[in-house]
Amino acid sequence: MKKIPQRLCVSCRERRNKSDLIRVVLLADGRVEVDPTGKMPGRGAYVCRNNECLEAACKAHRIEKSLKGISQEGMSDQLKAVMDQAETRNTTSRKPESDLLGSSGSAHTHMNVTEDKILSFLGLATRAGQVVSGADAVSAASGKNKVFLFIVADDAAEGTLRLLKRISEDKGIPLRRFSGKNKLGLCLGKRDRAVVAITDKNFADQLIRLLNEYVSAE
């Protein structure tokens, strides 16, 4: 029998197959980051893919302690998002591992898309360096044809919305309204953000899919 790699869960302290655990990695700057692929470089800690272990780990900051790292805002939302992706992956079947959300086709996902889930995905995209925010930075990036999606907060100023709509039409970049300035800013680790631009095609496609399901679910 082939030996499956085993890792220790920081919550229940049991050894499990690596694939049944979510990996969190210690970054060079001391922050800890959820590693949806399980392949990010750096020292890792693991937690079971279940609510009990996950919540216990977050509440007691067990992951940060085990890695001696600094905890991040929204860590538990990220962990939950990764866990839900895994569930989607297990209940359907044909899922490439590189597909963060486990939903490469838009038609047959049964995921309950919430605002928090989208925000935490946006947080992942931010830490992957694929998000630009603030009206000036966003229009500069779109001038260089680097933008694949605009997200404008529901409470953005009229002038900001008008500017972005114009760029969106000129360049054929999709524009979606979503959430509020405060929440968008928070998930980027910044102050209020009325405008966010996604600079990676894959992240943009996945966000559009999530936003479509989010809107149609309401």
Q: Identify the burial level of 148 via C-beta atoms within 10 angstroms of its C-beta, where 0-12 means exposed, 13-18 middle and 19 or more buried.
A: buried
Residue 4 Cβ vs Zn ion, minimum distance, rounded to whole Å: 16
Residue 48 Cβ vs Zn ion, minimum distance, rounded to whole Å: 3
Span interacting with Zn ion, options 6-14, 98-106, 108-116, 153-161, rule CB under 5 A: 6-14
Decide if residue 9 touches Zn ion (CB under 5 A).
Answer: yes
Residue 47 Cβ vs Zn ion, minimum distance, rounded to whole Å: 6
Q: From CA 79, how far away is CA 13, in angstroms rounded?
A: 18
Residue 44 vs 123, nearer CB to Zn ion: 44
Q: Given candidates 53, 54, 124, 186, which one binds Zn ion under the rule CB under 5 A?
A: 53
Cα separations in angstroms, 67 against 46, 73, 165: 10, 16, 44
Decide if residue 66 touches Zn ion (CB under 5 A).
Answer: no
Span interacting with Zn ion, options 9-17, 34-42, 126-134, 193-201, rule CB under 5 A: 9-17
Beta-bridged to residue 150, according to DSSP, are 175, 197
Decide if residue 48 touches Zn ion (CB under 5 A).
Answer: yes
Decide if residue 54 touches Zn ion (CB under 5 A).
Answer: no
Q: From CA 52, how far away is CA 39, in angstroms rounded?
A: 24
Decide if residue 11 touches Zn ion (CB under 5 A).
Answer: yes
Q: How many CB atoms lie within 10 A of CB 99?
A: 15
Beta strands 149-152 and 6-8: pairing type? unpaired
The answer to whether the CB of 168 falls within 8 A of the CB of 103 is no
Decide if residue 57 touches Zn ion (CB under 5 A).
Answer: no
* Interface residue list for Zn ion (CB under 5 A): 9, 11-12, 48, 53
